[in-house]
Amino acid sequence: MTDTAPPVVRASGLTKTYGSFTALDGIDLSLEENRIYGLLGRNGAGKTTIMQLLTGQIFPDGGRLEVFGRAPAEHVDVLSRVCFIGESQKYPDSFKPKHVLESAPLFFPKWSHELADELVAEFRLPLNRPIKKLSRGQLSAVGVIVGLASRAPLTFFDEPYLGLDAVARATFYDRLLADYAEHPRTIVLSTHLIDEVSNLLEHIVLIDRGRVLIDADAEEVRGSATTVAGKREAVESFVAGREIIGRDGIGGLASVTFTGALDTLQRREARELGLELAPVSLQQLIVHLTGTDLSAEKEVVA
Ligand SMILES: Nc1ncnc2c1ncn2[C@@H]1O[C@H](COP(=O)(O)OP(=O)(O)OP(=O)(O)O)[C@@H](O)[C@H]1O
């Protein structure tokens, strides 16, 4: 990635309403070239709506949106660089997976037949079975294969793996990372399986009730909280005055999670008290940030 490359997506004040309901409330978003984004948030937060706007499937009611420098819905050359894999892909009734894989290259100029073939074998996808007869996981595999083999410069995966078993999901993550390393592109992954994809994500966009709550580097987000564990008394004295976001423990032992990173001095103090410091899981953090006690106005990471 060069420093001068313009963002792939530029959105400001993006708003989407359905009747009197505001699904997206003035979203500002910039997606850079060649990064893997996690678009996270609770059910109904607005993730799919954002992806539908960015892929020209629906239109905003307010704000500005540019994808590859243009309005997404109006330019064929923009749409040929974008791939959206949703939770439930729809295919013509008569289609078999082989028909999907034969027609996909017409839409995606960077399509890789080789990668598609390898993935078909790895996912054990029956190419000649009618799509209507595929199992839930096999149907998801079709979408995942199209999304990866498209090598589209901007690829969206919106909860793409309903029904995929753990082995198949691991295959998806491994293949995504390996192919991304060789063919960098911008990938947006929306999922509720946060811990599973945590290591893949370079940047986190957390949506809550139609607003952006976090837009930050994944490392920065991970470093925004710490867990300390050890003897209860020592733990409690160490975390006194901090913003506690989680507690656990049994008997004389406690584990407390608090916001903020520690400097070298504080780390040494923890060691001297016999305390253990551990990073917080992204999922744990996000559950906390989007929990019911969170005020809609709270800004967590700038
Ligand atoms: N066509 C529609 N008409 C009315 N409301 C809608 C429509 N599409 C979405 N919404 C509402 O907009 C909000 C955002 O929906 P969206 O599908 O973007 O959420 P999401 O973050 O993708 O959720 P999930 O994680 O459950 O998939 C929800 O409250 C949803 O009910």
Please report whether residue 3 resides in a domain.
no
Using DSSP's 3-state secondary structure scheme, residue 249 falls into: strand
Give 68-121 pLDDT, tens digit per residue.
998 887 777 788 899 999 987 788 888 999 999 999 999 999 999 999 999 999
Asked whether residue 192 falls in the same domain as residue 252, the answer is: no
| Alpha-carbon span 218 to 86, nearest angstrom | 23
Please report whether residue 286 resides in a domain.
no
Using DSSP's 3-state secondary structure scheme, residue 110 falls into: coil
Please report whether residue 146 resides in a domain.
yes
**Closest Cα to residue 163, out of 123, 210, 197?**
123
Please report whether residue 300 resides in a domain.
no
Question: Is the shortest distance between the CB of 49 and ligand 1 below 6 Å?
Answer: yes
In this prediction, what percent of the chain has a pLDDT beyond 90? 72
Asked whether residue 232 falls in the same domain as residue 198, the answer is: no
Question: Is the shortest distance between the CB of 46 and ligand 1 below 6 Å?
Answer: yes
154: which DSSP letter? E
Asked whether residue 151 falls in the same domain as residue 250, the answer is: no
Asked whether residue 213 falls in the same domain as residue 100, the answer is: yes
The DSSP code sequence of 65-109 is EEETTB-GGG-HHHHTTEEEE-SS----TT--HHHHHHHHHHH-T
Q: Which residue range is the domain that position 170 belongs to?
A: 9-220
Please report whether residue 34 resides in a domain.
yes
Please report whether residue 40 resides in a domain.
yes
Q: What is the average pLDDT across 195-202?
A: 92
For the chain, helix, strand, coil in percent to 5 are 35, 30, 35
Domain count, the chain: 2
Residue 298 pLDDT > 70, yes or no? no
Residue 295 pLDDT > 50, yes or no? no
Question: Is the shortest distance between the CB of 45 and ligand 1 below 6 Å?
Answer: yes
Asked whether residue 253 falls in the same domain as residue 160, the answer is: no
Asked whether residue 91 falls in the same domain as residue 163, the answer is: yes
This prediction's pTM: 0.88
Give 121-168 pLDDT, tens digit per residue.
999 999 999 999 999 999 999 999 999 999 999 999 999 888 899 999
Predicted interface score ipTM higher than 0.95? yes
| Alpha-carbon span 101 to 178, nearest angstrom | 21
User: Residue 210 C-alpha to ligand 1 middle, in angstroms?
Assistant: 9
Asked whether residue 193 falls in the same domain as residue 234, the answer is: no
Asked whether residue 209 falls in the same domain as residue 273, the answer is: no
Among 184, 205, 220, the domain-final residue is 220
Please report whether residue 285 resides in a domain.
no
Please report whether residue 296 resides in a domain.
no
Give 220-276 pLDDT, tens digit per residue.
888 888 999 999 999 999 999 998 988 888 999 999 999 888 889 999 999 999 999
- The residue ranking higher by pLDDT, 150 or 288, is 150
- At residue 12 the predicted structure's pLDDT band, cuts being 50, 70 and 90, is very high
User: Residue 189 C-alpha to ligand 1 middle, in angstroms?
Assistant: 17
Asked whether residue 193 falls in the same domain as residue 254, the answer is: no
Asked whether residue 201 falls in the same domain as residue 78, the answer is: yes
Residue 175: HSE in the Cβ half-sphere, 13 Å Cα cutoff = 24
Q: Residue for token digits 């050359």?
A: 77
Asked whether residue 137 falls in the same domain as residue 184, the answer is: yes
* pLDDT score, position 3: 57
Q: Residue for token digits 């020209």?
A: 56
Question: Is the shortest distance between the CB of 23 and ligand 1 below 6 Å?
Answer: yes
- Of all protein residues, the one whose alpha carbon is nearest to atom 29 of ligand 1 is 44
Asked whether residue 40 falls in the same domain as residue 143, the answer is: yes
- The residue ranking higher by pLDDT, 81 or 278, is 81
CATH number for the domain that contains residue 145: 3.40.50.300
**Are 276 and 229 in contact, with CB atoms under 8 Å apart?**
yes
CATH number for the domain that contains residue 241: 3.30.70
Residue 111 CB contacts under 8 Å (≥ 6 apart), including other chains = 104, 105, 149, 150, 151
